[in-house]
């Protein structure tokens, strides 16, 4: 507001308008206008003490037009602003439409906002403008710890307090964990949502590694597990700025309260397990939530039930199951290792980096955002890797399909000689697996030449030896000996004077 009294006082001292403007912190045009209005209304210094700047302003600028303007209902606006999506711009548009229907003159938007801010500052409810019901959940770890004692050794395990607070109603949740690791951080969120019976539209954490991988001017990169949890509940993670605790003022204030009325109150309490300690923490938490407010009626529970619970988003059908994300480079055996057990992935990913999502029941492998493999997690130590046939190359899949019964079935369909040869291959080594290679080579020969020729070649090989080799059969097929017709009688030589003497010669029955 213009300091009219100071301008008139300095005028009486005969200072220049420039000097008056500098001293009164206004423009020279304002000083000139005040001089003209003072002369028009006959105002001179000194003025009576009861003539304030507001009274002088009313004399200079009578509110003839403002009196016909319809004043906004700031109390009703305050309640409407607590609803999701409601802004001052929307309320001003509705206010102008109502004034038009009532043939009243509305305030300009700036005046409309000024009246509302003045009402909010008067009622000390500034936080209600920024914290709408069901909109923000603020979370953090408390700096002070409790202790859990071992009943046998007396060893002390620190207990870290997880705090979650609804920013509008200040309704809080607290739970202690043995560590501040990512799994406990996620568990705290899951239990908090179950405690509140719903999910907020945003969650504001600190910049700890369990939630934020990096927070730079270029953007925020969330921890993969934390982002997965937020997606499951349909909420948005909006981390506080580094070294800006006022971005999560509600949980910072709640931690101060929890430190006094939970951590300090239980400093002498000896708990021998975390469920026992959490039971004591829950009792203290109920006392805090039911403690009356100092400057307004009700408490955190009533504020939550009356103004915030109905605005929370519903919980998903099932709670989030904690999963751990990791990365791995696929090696030539096309497997990934989890807890000393190996699980297969498609062989075409050999040499590529994949993302692995692991929970208590399943193992999922993702490549460029798409799931490429899924396995049931085995918690016991396995001797062999878990390999799915569809993840294997064709030659590997075919090799695993080999079995002695399969070889015998194939040979019996080709012919009796082939079956004899296959049985010899399987029985020739110490174990049947040693003959698999010869069996597979014989099957490839059948694909190359035909089953009929392989049967004839096996028959020919058995005439030479009862222990044929795959090399002998390959030679027979290569030279075409299987195609030569065999005679059942030994041919007799037409040369009676052959160099090789027969049985007739040695028996004394020589022919002339």
- pLDDT tens digits for range 97-144: 988 888 888 888 988 998 888 887 776 544 444 568 888 999 999 988
Q: What is the pLDDT of residue 128?
A: 43
Question: Residue 218: is its pLDDT beyond 70?
Answer: no
Q: pLDDT confidence of 486, banded at 50, 70, 90?
A: low
Q: What is the pLDDT of residues 77-89, one digit of tens each?
A: 887 887 767 888 8
Residues in a beta bridge with 364: 357, 374
Task: Tell me the CB-side half-sphere exposure of residue 411, using CA atoms within 13 A.
Answer: 24
Distance CA 373, CA 353 (A): 14
One DSSP character per residue, 305-352 reads: HHHTGGGSBPPPSSPPPP-EEEEEEPPTT-EEEETTEEEE--GGGTT-
Domain 136-311 class, CATH top level: alpha beta
Structural domain boundaries in the chain: 4-50, 67-128, 136-311, 324-394, 402-483
CB 78 within 8 A of CB 121: no
CA dist list (Å): 231 to 200, 204, 225, 320, 325 = 13, 15, 10, 10, 15
Task: Tell me the CB-side half-sphere exposure of residue 149, using CA atoms within 13 A.
Answer: 9
Regarding pTM above 0.75, the answer is no
Percent of the chain with pLDDT over 70: 89
**Averaged pLDDT score across all residues of the chain:** 83
Question: Residue 496: is its pLDDT beyond 80?
Answer: no
Question: Residue 6: is its pLDDT beyond 70?
Answer: yes
CB 11 within 8 A of CB 35: yes
Intra-chain end-to-end CA distance of the chain, in Å: 156
Q: pLDDT confidence of 312, banded at 50, 70, 90?
A: very high
Distance CA 99, CA 104 (A): 5
Q: pLDDT confidence of 66, banded at 50, 70, 90?
A: very low
Residue 92 tokens, joined = 């001003």
72 DSSP assignment: P
Instruction: Give the pLDDT mean for 407-419.
Output: 88
Distance CA 185, CA 191 (A): 10
Pseudo-torsion of CA 164, 170, 171, 174, nearest 10°?
30
CB 303 within 8 A of CB 171: yes
CB 193 within 8 A of CB 232: no
CB 365 within 8 A of CB 408: no
CA nearest 468: which of 429, 424, 410, 435? 424
The angle subtended at Cα 15 by Cα 11 and Cα 17, nearest 5°, is 80
The residues near 247 (Cβ < 8 Å, ≥ 6 apart) are 204, 240, 241
């Amino acid at each position: 507001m213009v300091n009219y009294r100071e301008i008139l006082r300095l005028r009486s001292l005969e200072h220049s308008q420039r000097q008056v403007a500098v001293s009164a912190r206004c423009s020279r045009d304002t000083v000139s206008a005040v001089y003209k209005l003072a002369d028009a209304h006959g105002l001179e210094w000194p003025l009576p003490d009861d003539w304030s700047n507001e009274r002088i302003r009313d004399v200079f600028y009578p509110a003839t037009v403002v009196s016909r303007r319809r004043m906004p209902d700031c109390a009703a606006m305050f309640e409407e602003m607590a609803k999701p999506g409601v802004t001052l711009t929307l309320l001003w548009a509705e206010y102008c439409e109502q004034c038009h229907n009532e043939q009243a003159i509305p305030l300009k938007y700036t005046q409309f906002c000024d009246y509302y801010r003045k009402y909010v500052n008067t009622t000390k409810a500034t936080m209600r403008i920024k914290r709408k019901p069901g909109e923000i959940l603020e979370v953090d770890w408390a700096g002070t710890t409790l202790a859990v004692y071992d009943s046998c050794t007396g060893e002390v395990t620190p207990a870290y307090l997880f705090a979650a607070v609804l920013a509008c109603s200040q309704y809080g949740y607290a739970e202690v964990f043995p560590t501040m690791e990512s799994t406990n951080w996620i568990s705290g969120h899951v239990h908090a949502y179950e405690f509140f019976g719903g999910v907020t539209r945003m969650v504001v954490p600190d910049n700890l590694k369990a939630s934020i991988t990096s927070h730079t001017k270029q953007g925020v990169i969330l921890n993969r597990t934390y982002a997965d949890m937020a997606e499951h509940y349909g909420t948005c993670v909006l981390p506080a700025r580094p070294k800006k605790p006022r971005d999560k003022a509600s949980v910072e204030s709640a931690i101060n309260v929890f430190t006094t009325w939970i951590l300090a109150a239980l400093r002498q309490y000896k708990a021998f397990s975390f469920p026992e300690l959490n039971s004591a923490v829950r009792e203290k938490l109920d006392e805090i939530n039911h403690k009356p407010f100092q400057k307004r009626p009700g408490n955190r529970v009533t504020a939550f039930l009356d103004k915030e619970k109905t605005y929370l988003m519903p919980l998903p059908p099932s709670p989030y199951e904690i999963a751990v994300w990791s990365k791995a480079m696929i090696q030539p055996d096309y497997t990934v290792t989890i807890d000393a057990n190996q699980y297969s992935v498609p062989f075409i990913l050999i040499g590529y980096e994949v993302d692995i999502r692991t929970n208590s029941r399943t193992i999922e492998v993702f490549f460029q955002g798409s799931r490429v493999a899924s396995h049931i997690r085995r918690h016991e130590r396995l001797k062999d890797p878990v390999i799915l046939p569809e993840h294997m190359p064709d030659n590997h899949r075919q090799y695993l399909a080999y079995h002695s019964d399969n070889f015998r079935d194939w040979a019996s369909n080709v012919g009796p000689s082939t079956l004899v040869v296959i049985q010899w291959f399987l029985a020739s080594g110490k174990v049947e697996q040693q003959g698999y290679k010869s069996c597979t080579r014989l099957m490839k020969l059948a694909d190359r030449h035909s089953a009929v020729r392989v049967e004839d070649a096996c028959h020919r090989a058995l005439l030479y030896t009862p222990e044929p080799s795959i090399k002998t059969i390959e030679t027979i097929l290569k030279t075409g000996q299987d195609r030569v017709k065999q005679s059942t009688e030994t041919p007799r030589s037409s040369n009676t004077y052959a160099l090789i003497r027969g049985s007739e010669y040695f028996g004394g029955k020589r022919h002339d």
